[in-house]
Structure 1
């Protein structure tokens, strides 16, 4: 049997440092159990021996073992010690089992999940779903549960945008004992240094296309309304600014930025007043909720949409049922889910022989009443002739 040293060095530090070391110990023990270094039934190091080896306290090691017991990866035997637990075989009679982790199952991700389910069903694979609710601790626990369920691969929407060190978080995910494809997440700031396999929406391109459409309708002074507590915000802001510059529009464009919790009718009233004072005649709003609040603010202020102010929403979750149906940038959610599943299945079939996929899908613009124009920058109709629910299907 192979032996494994747990590579944890240095003394514990208070608070966040101690928590990081605990997480690293958990990840190392989990990998050793799942990759067969400690086969089912094999005895694990004692708490005291592991504490001496890693430089951590016995209390921290005990906590790690207790969490692994809760996940079904470790068994405690009174008087005998801790042992790697017997787990369900991943074979599944030849059926692939794919774990899927999303942060939310109410908005945005249902269409992504439909795409994933469609592709996995066509391949005879089974899906196991987990939700993190945008909680990093729950995210880790959910990944552990999926691994304990015997999944062959993972489709993950991790909280990279809130991680203290996104690169390190990505490394932890890459070190999991099964292949992982990221969905709607990537290390954009790393450029070609991003090592992850991912399928994402080109949110920068979506914002760019919205600005280009408004410019084609004759608008020159544009504004941007965004909530800041989302991974989508940065690329939307970047795409908006790039389009304003490329199209020679006056700048800098006025931005109204705030966290989601503070977007309410009063905040929308202030945002509308600021945009109007800046001479804005058209705005891009992220997301549908914020755009709907801006519609309400316009109604209260006697501002006509689209006559006085044209609006484009970003997300297309419920833009078509707003009091004035909203033109919207529509991420290809369904297609994105299908493609992510295809890439993971290819990785499972071909292993390292498969190329690393790093894919971005461009959203489409669904034109409705709120921008006052039914033709895109090139003169061709955009997104007409249907309900406009979007989603890339």
Structure 2
């Protein structure tokens, strides 16, 4: 099977699973082909082939001038309670979280509404009000903690005081005064474990590549530097705003890392790792021979030309756990407050190579 054949089949499988899980319910419009191509780092022709497969399976239909829509008959709605779900993005990272949520709520006979805030605090507040007005019995929220009126701590207190139970997903307060229930990936452990994985392969000078701003970047950074210090290693860091990332930015990043003697890098997130891999190829460097790479998020890491090892947050488990906690809270309001961190795994692929002869000796 060719590389392009593999990419389109993987994308078709991913979309098919998301439709089955109820992430894209009947009647909903899929992202446009250019949006899917961008979010999955594949060509538009690859997306078109994947969608054509779904059309042939009568999962979706193309409507001239309107887009691609999920056909009815693939998901059943059940009765009560009604759960509101607010995420910042339905195209990247969160589809598998939503799949886990849908799985638990369907098994419990619950209905749910999904809204996307687009990382906009004002829009998020509007979505919260609309879900309460619609009669939501509980809320699962990925809150936007950059820019809310009064600051993050005040916003979390206001969420905790809503008239229905709220469980936060992939966000939490940073102090012991945090009053909210939450289920999050232990991103500090993710950064920490990535460095230790590279150290076991013999790397002593490791780079950290960050996209900012992101509420996840800082805990990843803390874990990364904690591990480097424990191992008595060396590190270099490169960061750029999400919208600044481009092939030229990746070239600058690579030059900076190489100047510091970096032999491996942890890249937050997948797209930055893909861009850095391409920059290495342009520079005549091999991956993993000259530069080993670990991506972060594991959304599209497996689709890279050289499949990327990646820190993989347990997204589906996050969704399942958060939904379970919320249903528990609705049934038993006096339960002890739960603030849970789930440690991510490392999906090992081809971008790190096997253990080197210069393996770390204690």
Residue matched to 1:219: 203
Q: Indicate which of 62, 65, 88 corresponds to 1:103.
A: 88
Question: 1:103 touches 1:157 (CA, 8 Å); kept in 2?
Answer: yes
1:365 matches 2:355:
no
Residue pairs, 1:310-321, within 5 angstroms? 310-321=292-303
CA–CA distance in structure 2, aligned partners of residues 205 and 288 of structure 1: 18
1:230 matches 2:214:
yes
Q: Indicate the SS of the match to 1:365.
A: strand
Residue matched to 1:84: none
Q: Deviations over 1:81-129 (max 9, x none)?
A: xxxxxxxxxxxx9721110000000000000000000001111111111
Q: Deviations over 1:143-172 (max 9, x none)?
A: 111111101000000111444611101111
Question: 1:367 touches 1:373 (CA, 8 Å); kept in 2?
Answer: no
Residue matched to 2:227: 243
Residue pairs, 1:141-160, within 5 angstroms? 141-160=126-145
Q: Deviations over 1:209-252 (max 9, x none)?
A: 100000000000001000011111000100100100111113xx
Unaligned 5+ segments in structure 2 are 1-77, 357-362
Q: Deviations over 1:297-327 (max 9, x none)?
A: 0000001110011000000001001011000
Q: Deviations over 1:194-213 (max 9, x none)?
A: 21100000011011110000
Instruction: Quickly say closer, same or farther: Cα 1:272–1:186, change in 2 above 3 A.
Output: same
CA–CA distance in structure 1, aligned partners of residues 160 and 177 of structure 2: 14
Question: 1:288 touches 1:315 (CA, 8 Å); kept in 2?
Answer: yes
Q: Indicate the SS of the match to 2:183.
A: strand
Q: How many residues align?
A: 280
Residue matched to 1:165: 151
Residue pairs, 1:59-138, within 5 angstroms? 95-138=80-123
Unaligned 5+ segments in structure 1 are 1-92, 376-393
Q: Determine which structure has greater relative contact order: mean sequence separation of CA pairs < 8 Å that are 6+ residues apart, divided by chain length.
A: 2
Residue matched to 2:283: 301
Residue matched to 1:356: 337
CA–CA distance in structure 2, aligned partners of residues 101 and 112 of structure 1: 11
Scaled by the length of structure 2, the TM-score of the pair is 0.75
Q: Indicate the SS of the match to 1:351.
A: coil
Residue matched to 2:170: 184
Question: 1:227 touches 1:287 (CA, 8 Å); kept in 2?
Answer: yes
CA–CA distance in structure 1, aligned partners of residues 314 and 231 of structure 2: 26
Residue matched to 2:8: none
Residue matched to 1:281: 263
Question: 2:201 touches 2:355 (CA, 8 Å); kept in 1?
Answer: no
Which structure: larger Rg? 1
Q: Indicate the SS of the match to 1:140.
A: helix
Q: Alpha carbon RMSD of aligned pairs, Å?
A: 1.7
Q: Indicate the SS of the match to 2:324.
A: helix
CA–CA distance in structure 2, aligned partners of residues 262 and 94 of structure 1: 46
Residue matched to 2:161: 175
CA–CA distance in structure 2, aligned partners of residues 94 and 324 of structure 1: 46
Residue matched to 2:54: none
1:198 matches 2:179:
no
Question: 1:367 touches 1:374 (CA, 8 Å); kept in 2?
Answer: no
Question: 2:101 touches 2:323 (CA, 8 Å); kept in 1?
Answer: yes
Q: Indicate which of 281, 285, 292 corresponds to 2:274.
A: 292
